[in-house]
Amino acid sequence: MSGRVEGKVAFITGAARGQGRSHAVRLAQEGADVIAIDVCKAVGGSEGIPPATPEDLAETADLVKGLGRRIVTAEVDVRDLEALQSAVDSGVEQLGRLDIIVANAGIGLGGATLDQTSEEDWDAVIDINLSGVWKSVKAVVPHLLSGGHGGSIILTSSVGGLKALANTGHYIAAKHGVVGLMRTFAVELGEHSIRVNSVHPTNCNTPMFMNESTMKMFRPDLENPGPEDLVAPARLMHILPVGWVEAVDISNAVLFLASDESRYITGLPMTVDAGSTLK
């Protein structure tokens, strides 16, 4: 099947790399044009993970253009509502409409129990992973309403938005909060045929998961753990026999929720988790 989102325009946050880039490519493959934003630098103390760069965002743009679709990019921090609004305004002006929002940008921080978490880390994760999602949606709602043809909003939460894991309580709280945002926006925007759903990935093969800090966290017994050392412990988190999923697996769920195939689905927390939430 092709053209599942033909003629639509998607706004994607955190699109320089990882899942955000994959969503841009997957939606473009099915006919969408894209407004892609990313902060493109280190934010919020996520030191263990190398930051995305302006070159990464440019590569996303090249990939989308290579598929014959149009793309508008901007370096924007999702904590900055005004900058979000001007990026969306400018993108809609250039591409003519807006239909799909994927609020995907986020940071992963871990390593401390909640009572030992620093105020700085708490604020960073809540500001980006929760308030940043609210601001990303707030910036686009006026365009969806004035467009008058409904829309699909997809918020990236996590398995950690549906169950608790130790030593990353700020992330768990923010991702649970995303479910609250999703449900409330769904209730408030439904009468305008705007659907709102969330996706809940398990470990996903992007820099946020596949990095030195994660490897050391999973394998404190090894001096220099590599990706292959993650396989066995990561598999224990799942029902299906895999340690992680690929970004395209999340993109396929996003594509379904973005397309009219899901036209009567709203308020759904959709897992892509190899059965993690069953455990």
Catalytic (active-site) positions: 171
Q: Does the footprint of ligand NAD cover residue 142 (CB under 6 A)?
A: no
Residue found by looking up tokens 């398995």 in the block: 159
As a whole number of angstroms, the distance between CA 225 and CA 185 comes to 42
Please, what's the largest Cα pairwise distance for the chain? Answer: 57
Q: Does the footprint of ligand NAD cover residue 197 (CB under 6 A)?
A: no
Among 11, 134, 185, 209, which residue sits at the site for ligand NAD (rule: CB under 6 A)?
Answer: 209
The separation between CA 237 and the C-alpha centre of its own chain, rounded to angstroms, equals 21
Q: Does the footprint of ligand NAD cover residue 206 (CB under 6 A)?
A: yes
As a whole number of angstroms, the distance between CA 109 and CA 245 comes to 20
Q: Identify which of residues 95 and 245 has a Cβ nearer to ligand NAD in the complex.
A: 245
Q: From the CB of 7, what's the least distance to ligand NAD, in Å?
A: 26
Q: Does the footprint of ligand NAD cover residue 43 (CB under 6 A)?
A: yes
Contact status, residue 109 vs residue 129, Cβ threshold 8 Å: no
Q: From the CB of 35, what's the least distance to ligand NAD, in Å?
A: 13
Phi/psi at 9 (nearest 5 deg)?
A: -120, 130
As a whole number of angstroms, the distance between CA 272 and CA 256 comes to 12
Q: Which stretch binds ligand NAD (CB under 6 A): 74-82, 94-102, 145-153, 263-271?
A: 74-82
The separation between CA 244 and the C-alpha centre of its own chain, rounded to angstroms, equals 16
Among 10, 63, 106, 177, which residue sits at the site for ligand NAD (rule: CB under 6 A)?
Answer: 106
Q: Does the footprint of ligand NAD cover residue 20 (CB under 6 A)?
A: yes
Which uninterrupted H or E stretch holds 21? helix 18-29
Q: Does the footprint of ligand NAD cover residue 162 (CB under 6 A)?
A: no
Q: Does the footprint of ligand NAD cover residue 181 (CB under 6 A)?
A: no
* Positions in 75-104 near ligand NAD (CB under 6 A): 77-79, 104
Q: What is the 3-state composition of the chain as percent helix, strand, coil, each rounded to the nearest 5?
A: 50, 15, 35
Binding site for ligand NAD (CB under 6 A): 13-14, 16-20, 38-39, 43, 49, 52, 77-79, 104-108, 128, 132, 156, 158, 201, 203-204, 206-209
